[in-house]
Amino acid sequence: MNNGFTEAASSTEVKEGRGRAVMVNGQKIALFRHEGNVFALRDSCPHQGAPLSDGYVENGCAVCVYHEWRFHLKDGAFDHNELIKLPVYPIKEENGKIFVGTNE
Ligand code: FES
């Protein structure tokens, strides 16, 4: 624990444009790297609950590979209806490690 942030992965584990599943304080979280920055969203697609971490990044969105629903990395909003939103989590990346803030 580091001011509300918990170490979740090493930087090398989260590749550009790809998803990566991590467990932080009992929560399933999908990490994605886009244009060098890491983003964290809840790892459960609101469509049918599939792991979003199996997906990839396209045009700033995480794409669920199961039926191609897309969620903006910055705020978790579904690209066809912003009332459907995935929780997003703050990220810190320091010294080759990725930390996720979950308020726990
Ligand atoms: S489960 Fe994600 S789009 Fe259907």
Ligand 1 pocket mutation pick from 67, 80, 81 by most atoms within 8 angstroms of CB: 67
Domain boundaries, the chain: 12-93
Is residue 103 predicted with pLDDT exceeding 80? no
- End-to-end, the C-alpha distance of the chain in Å comes to 9
The number of helix segments (H) and strand segments (E) in the chain equals 0, 12
pLDDT digit string, tens, across residues 19-53: 999 999 999 999 999 999 999 999 999 999 999 99
β partners of residue 56 = 18, 63
pLDDT digit string, tens, across residues 45-99: 999 999 999 999 999 999 999 999 999 999 999 999 989 999 999 999 999 999 9
Which phi and psi (to 5°) does residue 66 adopt? Answer: -75, -50
Kindly report the protein residue whose alpha carbon is nearest to atom 1 of ligand 1: 48
pLDDT for res 73: 98
- Please state which CATH number belongs to domain 12-93: 2.102.10.10
pTM: 0.95
Q: Which residues does 84 contact at the CB level (< 8 Å), separation at least 6?
A: 46, 77, 78
